[in-house]
Amino acid sequence: MLDALDTPAHPCGKCLFYEKSLWNPVGLGGVSVLACGFSRRDIAAGEVLFEQGSRNKGVFCVSKGLIALRSHNPDGSSTLMRLAYPGEIVGFRSFLSHGEHQTEARALMPARVCTVARGSAERLLRNNPAIMERLMVRAVAEIDRSHARIIAAATTSNKDRLEQLLGWLMARHGTRAGSEMRMQLPMTRSDLADLIGVQRETMSRLIKRLEEDGIFRFSGREVWMRVPGDLMAQCSDAEREEVRLLVQRLR
């Protein structure tokens, strides 16, 4: 039996997101199992973490960068479903269903992903109900995000949804430049259209309307936003905490 000095450290122990980590509840008895199945991988921008239709090989946590979850359609087109920022788990639906990934996961910018191999993850879940509870909370949160998008599409104008999305992205990717915030969009305008649920040809008209309002300026992927006060006020409490952790990680 390993004594306390031989017990490996918790692989997530030094992560900024440790308190909310899926694997935080793993006690000393399970750390060896977690460490055995744990790996950390740097992913270049454009590199694929897992492909749509591939078998699930574990549970993936984004610890740095930005991952796009995209659905590829039979006609060759694709739809950006959502973005995964540091602290988020991806690939857990196929893990829970023992099936194939329903989306592709690809890095939009240099990223780092921590993986717990399927066998180790299943063993830990069997022995620690608190992990399954945290996984279920994340699954429900994803359902809630999808529900919120449906409600927003029915009750909010396309222009307002785009403005809110750009403000949300600016809070994460923007830098202050005088009375404006500036960012390089991490995705294409077509991806923006997917995220707010409009046809891609509609995006140019929406961007033009935002420019006419005088709050936003666009040049390719460069976006400038006149700061109308506290940008963070546009975020929920949970989003503000997420942004705070992201800023801390970048320092």
- Helix H, strand E, coil C: the string for 110-154 is EEEEEEEEHHHHHHHHHHCHHHHHHHHHHHHHHHHHHHHHHHHHH
What angle, rounded to 10 degrees, do the helices at 158-173 and 189-196 form?
A: 120
236 phi and psi angles, rounded to 5 deg = -75, 170
pLDDT score for 241: 60
- Strands (DSSP E) found in 118-247: 175-177, 180-184, 216-219, 222-226
Strand, coil or helix: what is 244? helix
CA distance 35 to 123: 13
Tell me the β-bridge partners of 90. 60
Say which residues have a Cβ less than 8 Å from residue 159's Cβ, sequence separation at least 6: 206, 209, 210
59 in Cβ contact with 121 (< 8 Å): yes
Continuous segment of H or E residues that includes residue 71: strand 58-72
For residues 68 and 114, what is the distance between their CA atoms, to the nearest angstrom?
16
Structure tokens at 199: 């046809």
Residue 13 DSSP SS3: coil
Q: Kindly state the tokens that stand for 113.
A: 């992903």
From the CB of residue 1, how many other CB atoms can be counted at a distance below 10 Å?
A: 3
* Per-position pLDDT tens, the chain of length 251: 444 455 678 999 999 999 999 999 998 778 999 999 999 999 999 999 999 999 999 999 999 999 999 999 999 889 999 999 999 999 999 999 999 999 999 999 999 999 999 999 999 999 899 999 999 999 899 889 888 888 988 899 999 999 999 999 998 999 988 888 999 999 999 999 999 989 888 999 999 999 999 989 999 999 999 876 555 555 556 655 655 555 444 33
pTM over 0.85: no
Q: For position 206, what pLDDT does the model report?
A: 95
Question: Which residue in 154, 185, 172 sits closest to 240, CA to CA?
Answer: 172
Distance of CA 50 to the CA centre of its chain: 15
Distance from chain centroid for Cα 179? 29
